[in-house]
Amino acid sequence: MAIALKSATNKRCVRIGKVASSFAMLPKVAILLPLLLPLMPDISFFLKYANRTKDSSIKLIYYCADKKLEYYTGECGNTSNWDIDHQVSSNRGTRAKLNRLRAVIEQMEESSKITGKALLEADVRQRLIEAKENKKYPLSALLLDKMTIIVNEMESGERTTPVQKKRYSPGSIKTHRFTIDFLRRFKPNMTVEGVTMGTYNEFIKWCHDLDYSTNYIGSQIKNWMALGNYVGGNSIYQTKAFRKLTEDTTDIALSEEELGIIYKQDLPFHLDTYRDWVIIDCYTGLRISDVRLLGGRNIGNDFITIANEKTDTQVVIPLHPYVREILKKYGGLPPSVTEQDMNKNIKEIGKKCGINKTVLYSITKGGKRKDEYLEKWQMLSNHTCRRSLITNLRKTGIPDSIIMKLTGIKSILTLMKYDKLEAGEAAEIAAKHRFFKPKGKALKNTVQAPDYLARLIVGFFRGSLSHKDMHELNQWAASSEQNAALFEQMVEGDARK
């Protein structure tokens, strides 16, 4: 019997060849399940009436082993708040509830892979009903099942952040779910009390065997510890030995000169939108999670204003001339792109723009230190953009307190991690300091601080700050501690205005 699996998102049908003569016998379903699961489509959500401006019911479609499941979620959407292509609502509460239902099925799929038991329509429907009624599920003693409950509570808003008592961000929820899936690959049947230092060491060896990097392993351990503490019943997570692994790696930033090359480069049509997003990201420093939230309401005549999703801090960022031109080009923001496509295409853009300086890249993977020489374009990623803004602002001489306001960073230690000033650039800046000047040679103290301060702060974003201006200002600020202190006071006073 041929089975047609339909996806209303792209209105295509994927046909699976004849895999069984009949599903009348359920034991046969269990045998065929391992073959069918990889072929089954993703869990899908659709509006009952896709083109209505009025609210329409959202239903869930999923193909079970015995028949198709159509389940009305109890949520609604319309053309103004429902993204048909991505099957997602702009309403955060609706999005959280739909993701909760998705997580129910994903968890049942994982359990099915372990037990070999077929997912039947009646069982999936019942579990969805329980989830919608906010019943605790699953009734299991397994650690990962309990962790899943914790993340579901984070997503629904039942569980809030420990200190500020705010809802967890979608990005945080996503990373926690990923860690659960990662641990499920490692050891799916872990119990709450069964996690020991032996389990920890076995996990690290397992990761090394798969050639994961130290920081990647550490990020999974960090989430493991957090969720393990939420679950409770095991004090191992509070010991010093059960810790997050970390190491310093070679990260890069794009200089203003390199960004100018990227902005002006004649690129193939398919890279044009991605290039524009690179420029926007490098001159706003927004995290990927914040870029996704950008809309016309966030953009004024001279500034972008947005509430930082990760820290819930409002940031106001001046519009750079390049960003203004891009907004003018599209009549707003460029078309949205995915994080995965951005990571891929930013490298191709860098290569075509000749961002090919050789960089020694060092990293520990599989428990072994590896050093290799890469061209700079090979190291470009989404995270390069935020590092680029912070590095360029610090090179310009803007005080850290102002940069932290612009980027929503609350810790100076965090700020320093983003600064990727190269050794040669640091030497050039240091050479202008009075420490390296001939003794007894008086520095001209002719700079009018207020005028230059205004040009310093605004100039970077308007592209009007000359190297001569910067040099004279550095001389003035470095000529005495009094001038340096006055400079800081003026900056803080200007910021308060």
Q: DSSP for 72-141?
A: EEEEEE-TTTEETTTTEES-HHHHHHHHHHHHHHHHHHHHHHHH-----HHHHHHHHHHHHTT-------
> For residue 15, what pLDDT is reported?
32
For residue 479, being part of any structural domain is answered with: yes
Q: Are 449 and 486 in contact (CB under 8 A)?
A: yes
Tokens of residue 19, six digits = 């895999």
Question: Residue 119 CB: number of other CB atoms within 10 A?
Answer: 23
pLDDT (tens place) for every residue of the chain, 497 residues total: 333 333 333 333 333 333 333 333 444 444 444 444 444 447 889 888 877 778 889 999 999 989 999 999 888 888 888 888 778 888 877 887 888 788 788 878 877 776 778 889 998 998 888 777 655 444 456 899 889 889 988 888 888 888 878 888 887 888 999 999 999 999 988 998 899 999 999 999 999 999 999 999 999 999 999 999 999 889 999 999 999 999 888 888 999 999 999 999 999 999 999 999 999 999 998 877 677 777 778 888 888 888 776 666 788 899 999 999 999 999 888 988 888 889 899 999 999 999 999 988 888 999 999 899 999 999 999 889 989 999 999 888 888 888 888 888 888 888 888 777 666 666 666 676 666 666 544 444 444 445 555 555 555 555 555 666 666 656 666 666 666 666 666 555 544 44
Do residues 36 and 132 both lie within one domain?
Answer: yes
Q: Are 115 and 196 in contact (CB under 8 A)?
A: no
Cα(73)–Cα(332) distance, rounded to whole angstroms? 34
For residue 149, being part of any structural domain is answered with: yes
Q: Are 478 and 433 in contact (CB under 8 A)?
A: yes
Do residues 53 and 83 both lie within one domain?
Answer: yes
Question: What's the angle, vertex CA 424, arms to CA 422 and CA 425, rounded to 5?
Answer: 65
Rounded to a whole number, what is the distance in angstroms from the first to the last CA of the chain? 73
Cα(187)–Cα(168) distance, rounded to whole angstroms? 27
Q: Are 79 and 51 in contact (CB under 8 A)?
A: yes
Do residues 55 and 153 both lie within one domain?
Answer: no
Cα(420)–Cα(380) distance, rounded to whole angstroms? 13
For residue 413, being part of any structural domain is answered with: no
Q: Are 47 and 56 in contact (CB under 8 A)?
A: yes
- DSSP string covering 188-219, please? TT-BSTT--HHHHHHHHHHHHHTT-BHHHHHH
Domain boundary among 139, 163, 181: 139
Indicate the number of domains in the chain.
4
Q: Are 142 and 187 in contact (CB under 8 A)?
A: no
Do residues 42 and 114 both lie within one domain?
Answer: yes
For residue 403, being part of any structural domain is answered with: no
Do residues 212 and 185 both lie within one domain?
Answer: yes
Which residues are bridge partners to 432 per DSSP? none
Do residues 261 and 391 both lie within one domain?
Answer: yes
Do residues 151 and 130 both lie within one domain?
Answer: no
Tokens of residue 168, six digits = 């967890």
- Quick check: helix, strand or coil at residue 326? helix
From the number of C-beta atoms within 10 Å of its C-beta (0-12, 13-18, 19+), residue 324 rates as middle
Kind plus residue range of the DSSP H or E element containing 428: helix 423-431
Do residues 135 and 151 both lie within one domain?
Answer: no
Do residues 3 and 132 both lie within one domain?
Answer: yes
The CA distances from residue 172 to 179, 184, 415, in Å, are 11, 19, 20
Nearest to 296 by CA among 341, 330, 342: 330
The CA distances from residue 390 to 67, 247, 254, 492, 493, in Å, are 54, 21, 10, 18, 21
Q: Are 116 and 73 in contact (CB under 8 A)?
A: no
For residue 426, being part of any structural domain is answered with: no
From the number of C-beta atoms within 10 Å of its C-beta (0-12, 13-18, 19+), residue 292 rates as middle
> For residue 491, what pLDDT is reported?
53
Do residues 44 and 162 both lie within one domain?
Answer: no
For residue 405, being part of any structural domain is answered with: no
Residue type at position 114: I
Cα 54 → chain centroid: 33
Do residues 4 and 130 both lie within one domain?
Answer: yes
Domain boundary among 178, 212, 246: 246
For residue 17, being part of any structural domain is answered with: yes
Instruction: Match 């004090």 to its residue by tokens.
Output: 235
Which residues are bridge partners to 362 per DSSP? 371
Domain range holding 1? Answer: 1-139
The CATH number of residue 311's host domain is: 1.10.443.10
Do residues 310 and 392 both lie within one domain?
Answer: yes
Contacts of 381 (CB under 8 A, 6+ apart): 343, 346, 347
Cα(153)–Cα(176) distance, rounded to whole angstroms? 12
For residue 109, being part of any structural domain is answered with: yes
Domain boundary among 139, 155, 175: 139
Q: Are 143 and 149 in contact (CB under 8 A)?
A: no
pTM greater than 0.75: no
Cα(494)–Cα(487) distance, rounded to whole angstroms? 11
Q: Are 423 and 455 in contact (CB under 8 A)?
A: no
Instruction: Match 């001389």 to its residue by tokens.
Output: 475
Q: What are phi and psi of 318, to 5 degrees?
A: -60, 150
